[in-house]
A and B are shown apart, each in its own frame.
Chain A
Amino acid sequence: MARTARTAVAAGRLRPPRFDDLGLRRALGDRILPLMVAAMTFLAALALAGVVGAAALAAHWQRGAAAVVTVQVPRPAEPAADRPGETRRARVTELAQAAAGVASARALGDAELADLLRPWLGSSAETLSLPLPAVVELRMALDAPPEALTTLAERLARAAPGTLTESHGVWVRRLAVLARSLQACAWAALLVVAAVAVAVVAIATRAGLAARRQAIEIVHGLGATDAYIAGRFAGRATRLAALGGLLGAGAALPVLVLLAALAAPFAGPAPAPPWPGPAGEVLGWLAALPAALWLALPGLPLAAAAIGFLTAQGTVRAWLRWLP
């Protein structure tokens, strides 16, 4: 008899692999909490994508809109003020091309000008004898100092009085405000998702405390510290939250890759796949996901685990204050 018991004990059959003294495997089930955390993680991944996407969009807009400057030169065929031998159009183009901070300058041709006017004047735009200004399109260098455009505008106005330089500054500012607002909304969504995750874990932990109240009182009476009891709950909540985080991040990955693939054409020419075939194409899609998201996605299960651990610890320790 004793030998049988000794054998059973030695074989470790009497103690489960993970000793569950408080019965938390049933009190904190492995379905609802991981699913809820998975849903929160999925939403958090989308919110993170919003943060990263809004930042990229803002940078892209600012680069594009801020770089293009339109210069209108009235009476383009008349001689320039500072060099009578040249037309005003040629002189403005020449000055713009030579100016510091300007990447390129090009005078639009008559056909291009007619294309721009066609929406307003119709197909007769080229035959109408209206006094049209010349239009010079500048692309500012990305590292151009802010005052470069002002200096250039003054020089152009001296060479060809009446020349109008439009820098799209108002639009750039509006786009920047819009992008920042989008980012703020995405961060706010992320915070709300985190707060809901905290609430979900806290509610689950409190339900577990209520279900295991008697066991906790017994263990407490046997000399268990708050850290011991809270550690049991926190360990379980951490594992479940991490599992939910992995599920949520895993579910979010294909969605984010799809979104990144859809947004790729707006971000410029797509890089060629590393090798031909479907595998190369899939790799190309994965590469479309911004690096910031690749870094943030693995952090989501870790963040979920941290939320599970800290929330369970706090909830249990606060509850235990009622015991002497």
Chain B
Amino acid sequence: MTTVERRFRRGVHWWQKGERRPHRRGADGRAGQHRRPEWGGGGTVRPPPERDATRHDRMMMIELQEVGLHYGGPRSGGAAGDGRPAGGVDVLRGLSFAVPAGGFRWLLGPSGAGKTSLLRLLHAAVRPTQGRLSLLGADIGRASRRELPPLRRSIGMVFQDFRLLPHLSAFDNVALPLRIAGRPEGQIRADVGEMLRWVGLARKTAARPAELSGGEQQRVAIARAVITRPRLLLADEPTGNLDDAQAERLMVLLKEMNRLGTTMVVATHNAALVERHPGPALLLEHGRLLADG
């Protein structure tokens, strides 16, 4: 068990080391680390358990109202008023759900159901073409371009294809979000070094992605996603390139982060993983939400 895992077990974020700032608080100023997680212990996907009804809990981290996402040309001829022919495709239609602060959702569905598109929406990488999407209290459809970068810095994302920068070392890839956020270099070195040790890559800090295996690249991607202590963590098949032991360690991390207040949406095809770690789920099919809970 690594130092970080031990600290997680003690209920302390690894990144709290050396930082005087208290853990992020909710809208009412209460620290979130005593809230109960939404993880169940049974073998099926279950709704979240009852939680303390604080303002922090009531705050919706994610809120969708009839959200649609259309790629390509206008939905119908002349509808856009620009004379372009009808075309494109509706990848998401009429999605309405909400995830409270500190909540957890599995995102399930067959390939092509729209899971990645929904995660892109939740990452503010695209804006909804229909409906209203609110992330961390901000209306994404109406937010200006200047408002989105700080929002994205509060959202961690683990991509299915890692999306590491090939010319940077593992250290620099993990440090990138902190450097973008303008953190002091001394703090970056300490935090990134500890994070890489935790994901078992202490010996490969200088390795570039091409020199790492798929599992190691995935761990670098996970480290990069959580290094900024995101308020919302999105993961697209995060265990896809990990063996069972590594996948289990990742789930320990994700559960602990969720227990400490990080809201999470994790897309996966891994039914066994969902069985072992049951929790509320969003079930997508053909761009529509079939089940929430």
Contact = CB atoms under 8 A, between A and B. Distances in A.
A221 interface: yes
Interface in B165-220: 165-169, 171-172, 175-177, 179-181, 185, 189, 192-193, 196-197, 202-203, 205-206
Interface in A1-19: 1-2, 4-6, 8-10, 13-15, 19
Contact of A221 (B154, B157, B175): B157
Contacts of A23: 165-168
B172 A19 contact: yes
Interface residues of B, number: 40
A94 B145 CA distance: 84
B277 interface: no
B149 A223 contact: yes
Interface residues of A, number: 31
B292 to A, nearest CB: 26
Contacts of A82: none
Interface stretch (B18-26, B46-54, B109-117, B123-131): B123-131
B27 interface: no
A14 B206 contact: yes
Contacts of B185: 15
A21 interface: yes
Contact of A9 (B148, B177, B181, B193): B193
Nearest to A25: B167
Contacts of B124: 324
B193 A13 contact: no
Q: Choose among B149, B151, B154 the residue with the greatest number of A CB atoms under 10 Å from its CB.
A: B149
Given A20-B167, A226-B145, A8 B157 contact: no
Interface in B91-134: 123-127
A219 interface: yes
B152 interface: yes
A250 to B, nearest CB: 32
Contact of B168 (A4, A5, A21, A226): A21
Contacts of A22: 165
Contacts of A195: none
Interface of B: 123-127, 145-146, 148-154, 157, 163, 165-169, 171-172, 175-177, 179-181, 185, 189, 192-193, 196-197, 202-203, 205-206, 224
Given A4-B203, A13-B206, A26-B167, 11 more contacts: A1-B202, A8-B206, A15-B185, A20-B167, A21-B165, A21-B168, A221-B125, A223-B149, A223-B177, A225-B146, A225-B149
7 contacts: A1-B202, A5-B196, A5-B197, A9-B189, A214-B163, A223-B151, A224-B149
